[in-house]
Amino acid sequence: MTFEIIVLGGGGHGKVLIDALHRQGHQVLGITERNVREDSPSVLGIPILGGDDIVLQYPPDRIKLVNALGSVSSLSKRQQLFEKFKRSGYHFLSVIHPGAIVAADAQLSEGVQIMAGAVIQAGASIGENTIVNTRAVVDHDCEIAAHVHLAPGVVLSGSVKIGQGSHIGTGATVIQEIQIGMNSLVGAGAVVVRDIPPDTKVLGIPAREVKR
């Protein structure tokens, strides 16, 4: 059965996803925005349909969703949006930019987003609703849980484990076999050389815990 695509959010991350979808050969039906401006009825030529709940007017078996809500430090709203529509029976499309490199045996869950220049190596697994952003590198046998954001330029060495809901900031590096607990925040440019407990924020070279 054919399906139509609705992108949830028309901000900066939404623009990147729409471009990737077009490069994959997909057509986008429309975009949802919580605050619709009369002077901005479209994004990249794609019409804004209304708020998120307009999705409920479309049957779940005819629609695929793309979660375009980005993150800076907290992924909770992005996770909530994903789970809200999953409970209503909708499914999320995975977006893989043609310029990404993904190993044949890599495991990608529902709704993952692999952006331009990203590399996913052999044996890696990526959890649902996770973003592997521009030029991020996930080396062999890494385990990335659900609702994670690997920001642009992140480098994960082999066998790293990232817990659910964690944000790894732009340009951060994580050495091999490190474990990062759920809901943790690694600051931009940090170098992680030891395990990080859940709900922890770290910054610097080497990365050290700071108060959130």
- Domain chopping of the chain, boundaries: 4-93, 95-200
Q: Hey, which CATH number is domain 4-93, 3.20.20.70, 3.30.200.20, 1.10.3720.10, 3.40.50.20?
A: 3.40.50.20
Average pLDDT, the chain: 94
pLDDT digits (tens, 9 = 90+) for 145-181: 999 999 999 999 999 999 999 999 999 999 999 999 9
For residue 28, what are the β-bridge partners? 5
Read off the pLDDT of residues 97-127 as tens digits, 9 standing for 90 and up: 999 999 999 999 999 999 999 999 999 999 9
- Closest to 184 in 3D by CA, of 173, 170, 195: 195
Homologous superfamily in CATH for domain 95-200 = Hexapeptide repeat proteins (2.160.10.10)
pTM, two decimals, is 0.94
- One of 91, 140, 147, 167 is an active-site residue; which one? 140
Neighbours of 10 (CB within 10 A): 23
Residue 91 in marked binding region? no
Is residue 91 annotated as part of the catalytic site, yes or no?
no
